[in-house]
Amino acid sequence: MNGRMIAVGALLLMLTSVSCGKSVAIGPLSPGTPGTPNSPGGEGNQTGTDQSGQCAPVQWTFNQPSSSSSTFADVLFVVDTSPSMTPKRSKIASQISALTSSFPSNVDTKIGVMLAHGGASPYSGQLFSAPGTPLVLDTAVHSPAVIQSSLQQTLSMDVADYDLANGEMLLYSMTKSLDSDHLSGIQSAGFYRPEAALGVVYVTDENDECFPPELNGFTTFPDYAVSIAGTEIPAFNMYCTGPGLTASNWPQVAFAKLAALKGSMPIALGGVNHYDPTKVPQGPDLEDAIGHGILEHLNMTPNNVKIEITADSYEPGLGALGNIVASQLVLRTVFTLPGSDSISQNSVTVQVDGTKVGSTFNPSSRTVGIQSQDAGKSGSVVVISACKA
């Protein structure tokens, strides 16, 4: 895109190789009232109304892991490839130690890079690395110097996407990588490991092209900037439409695919983009704007970090993202509810060791999130209650 660039995507999430137990039980409860854990039962999704007219919710019970001897994390950078983003992509690589040093020494971390290219590009939905550098960087194999140098080379490359997509389709490329024909090759390369937590960091200086701001009620700067070449809506129509897809649901669709891939493993999301309206530059050759689409996607989980792309240093944000990952090495903060029945969003409640805690619920992925400080301790019992919609 003329005079602009978006950059480096990417990063993080994690958890241990120990899985949490879960069971389902039924007990009378009014919507919005925390339930009392019943004895564990077989998985199911029954619900109804008792004679008093109260909701009889499903209750899912999860046990926090009691210990962890080894942990695994895959960190993916999804990067906009606009040339103007080159300095920002390179800055991420130079400060990557702020992220990796936040992990305990027993964490086996692998790092990959993906370009935000549209469907006409051979790089779309694929891992990418500079010539002569490893496709997947591994903290168990490569030294910190090799990791930083390799990322520096990869993230500093300007790889043009000559299609309408202009290298600005972060959510599209990431979700395409989860399709079976791409996933098998990526896993053969040692990434998207089933036993690893996943962290994804998106880097861009405007909105994601599968979430056009003007089609979501954002029509003025800095939430919206006119596409200089007029390619964004044509790119959306070419790649982002289809059964079950709309101009507004891509953030949810992308997160649901990640949740389906990882199952019981936690997910953390990061964004290096514009989220502070006072920091968005404006000019005749600029298309910088608030990172809509990416920001909505990050908000699908409480385990997210937003890093303002104009910040002098990315280290505090990358370190915070690493701390989120580290906090999930033993304690789960995101729980996927089994079953297929619709859940009443306002009825979802969470108790940790009998104490009600705040939570978020994503109905499209059936995931419930809690804050790290509310996750309890090793061996804690997490009970989630909800009513059928």
Q: What is d(CA 136, CA 133) in angstroms, rounded to the nearest whole number?
A: 9
Judged by average pLDDT, the poorest of 18-27, 60-69, 235-244 is 18-27
Residue 380, in any domain of the structure = no
Judged by average pLDDT, the poorest of 205-214, 286-295, 342-351 is 342-351
Using pLDDT thresholds of 50, 70 and 90, give the confidence band for residue 8. very low
The mean pLDDT of 273-283, rounded to a whole number, is: 97
Give the closest residue to 227 by CA, choosing from 215, 209, 249, 252: 209
Give every CB contact of residue 52 below 8 A, 6+ residues apart in sequence.
Answer: 28
Angle at 372 between CA 310 and CA 338, to 5 degrees: 110
What per-residue confidence (pLDDT) applies to 67?
A: 58
Cβ 5 vs Cβ 83: under 8 Å: yes
Write the DSSP string, 331-372: S--EEEPPS-S-B-GGG-EEEETTEEE--EEETTTTEEE--G
Residue 108, in any domain of the structure = yes
Using pLDDT thresholds of 50, 70 and 90, give the confidence band for residue 17. very low
Using pLDDT thresholds of 50, 70 and 90, give the confidence band for residue 231. very high
Residue 350, in any domain of the structure = no
What per-residue confidence (pLDDT) applies to 49?
A: 44
Judged by average pLDDT, the poorest of 213-217, 258-262, 343-347, 353-357 is 343-347
Using pLDDT thresholds of 50, 70 and 90, give the confidence band for residue 316. very high
Residue 368, in any domain of the structure = no
The answer to whether residue 3 scores a pLDDT higher than 50 is: no
Tokens of 374: 């509310």
Angle at 105 between CA 101 and CA 107, to 5 degrees: 95
Alpha helices in the chain (DSSP H): 86-94, 97-100, 144-155, 170-176, 180-188, 232-239, 250-262, 294-298, 315-327
Q: What is the domain count for the chain?
A: 1
Query: What residue type is assigned to position 302 of the chain?
Result: P
Judged by average pLDDT, the poorest of 10-24, 72-86, 184-198, 220-234 is 10-24
The answer to whether residue 107 scores a pLDDT higher than 80 is: yes
What per-residue confidence (pLDDT) applies to 113?
A: 97
The mean pLDDT of 340-352, rounded to a whole number, is: 91
Residue 360, in any domain of the structure = no
Give the closest residue to 42 by CA, choosing from 63, 21, 14: 21
Using pLDDT thresholds of 50, 70 and 90, give the confidence band for residue 126. very high
| pLDDT tens, residue by residue, 181-190 | 999 999 999 9
Residue 374, in any domain of the structure = no
What CATH number is given to the structural domain containing 246? 3.40.50.410
Residue 354, in any domain of the structure = no
What per-residue confidence (pLDDT) applies to 64?
A: 86
The answer to whether residue 44 scores a pLDDT higher than 80 is: no
Q: What is d(CA 166, CA 5) in angstroms, rounded to the nearest whole number?
A: 9
Element (H, E) at 75: strand 71-79
The mean pLDDT of 183-198, rounded to a whole number, is: 95
Average pLDDT, the chain: 84
Q: What is d(CA 11, CA 114) in angstroms, rounded to the nearest whole number?
A: 11
Residue 28, in any domain of the structure = no
Using pLDDT thresholds of 50, 70 and 90, give the confidence band for residue 388. confident
Query: What residue type is assigned to position 250 of the chain?
Result: W
Judged by average pLDDT, the poorest of 141-150, 208-217, 236-245, 336-345 is 336-345
Q: Which residues span the domain enclosing 120? A: 68-327
Q: What is d(CA 339, CA 337) in angstroms, rounded to the nearest whole number?
A: 7
